[in-house]
Amino acid sequence: MKKTISFGIPCFNEELNVVPAYRELKRVIAGANKYSFEFIFVDNGSTDNTREEIKKIAVKDKRVIGVFLSRNFGPEASQQAALDHTNGDAFIMYEGDMQDPPDLILKFIKKWEEGYKVVVGVRNKIDDNPFMILVRKAYYKIFKAISNIDVPVNAGSFGLIDRKAADAIKKMSEKYRFFRGLRAWVGFKTAQIPYERKKRIRGESSYTFFGYIKHAERSFFGFSYLPLDMIIYGGVFLVVASFAFIVGYLVWTFFYGNYIGGSVAILLSIIFLGGVQLLAVSIIGKYIQVIVEETKSRPVYVVDEIINKK
């Protein structure tokens, strides 16, 4: 019996890319006759004609599974929905914006055949504006420095995972999900393939700068405790420094008198310590937010309709 390779294609307002993405994936796998394939399109609450476009190709090709969410639950939810509905021996995530080169997929499959359970596409170059390139570089450097797992730098969701890795990720009950982090956390033998990410050809990106910030928060607070550790270290430093300052000030006052002639130094100290406390409380608050989200036990997404379900 042929092994099956599943494609997960998350979409949000990608009416112009649904059919081209489907055609490109079919073109790439045209010669891979020893495998069977399925295409899982996830519509994450699109407000354009994405849903209709998916249904058109699903009617013609029963290998196309359409998963339509009841509203937009964010990019992580659509990726998880694609993973949850996979039936394949391997799973390939391919974003619906078509910025990742589909021809790389055959290299993913080859690495999988060589025994790698996880194959990650690493962006060695991104065709984007200089500001966003700088932001991404800063993000990946910070995340790698503070993370408690080894996540490949400049790696997006584009890649392949074996059924074992997919099942391991699906078993995780956490709601505050970060796919790239979970993919690295499960371990397994991993290969990296560099590539150049192109500009979007059709449509407009739904990501905003603040959207990237929110996504970064998922990685920082989901896979690192360093911010909490820094609060502890900072607190210890301030206590020691304050104690040393008090002792030094008392000694100086005893021998030379009170040399502080105004309240500016005191005011600055209060502002500084108040800022440190506010920052510390904010960091702790973010971790509490994650805990609250987990304890709510709400599903990651809600499905409105599924077509061609197997």
Instruction: Give the pLDDT confidence score for residue 271 in this predicted structure.
Output: 66
In 3D, which of 267, 95, 76 has the Cα closest to residue 178?
A: 76
For residue 83, what is the DSSP state? H
- Rounded CA-CA distance 212/207 in Å is 7
- Rounded CA-CA distance 290/218 in Å is 9
Q: Which of 155-164, 170-179, 205-214 has the lowest mean pLDDT?
A: 205-214
Residues 111-131 have a mean pLDDT of: 81
**Chain centre to alpha carbon of residue 44:** 16
Helices and strands counted in the chain (H then E): 10, 8
Q: Which helix (H) or strand (E) holds 310?
A: none
Q: What is the pTM of this model?
A: 0.73
Which tokens belong to 285?
A: 């608050």
- Rounded CA-CA distance 96/207 in Å is 13
Longest dimension (CA), the chain: 92
CB 238 within 8 A of CB 272: no
Instruction: Give the pLDDT confidence score for residue 160 in this predicted structure.
Output: 93
Instruction: Give the pLDDT confidence score for residue 41 in this predicted structure.
Output: 93
Instruction: Give the pLDDT confidence score for residue 7 in this predicted structure.
Output: 92
Instruction: Give the pLDDT confidence score for residue 258 in this predicted structure.
Output: 62
Most confident of 81-85, 144-148, 196-200: 81-85
Exposure string of 180-193, with b = 16+ CB inside 10 Å and e = fewer, is bbbbbbbeeebbbb
CB 160 within 8 A of CB 274: no
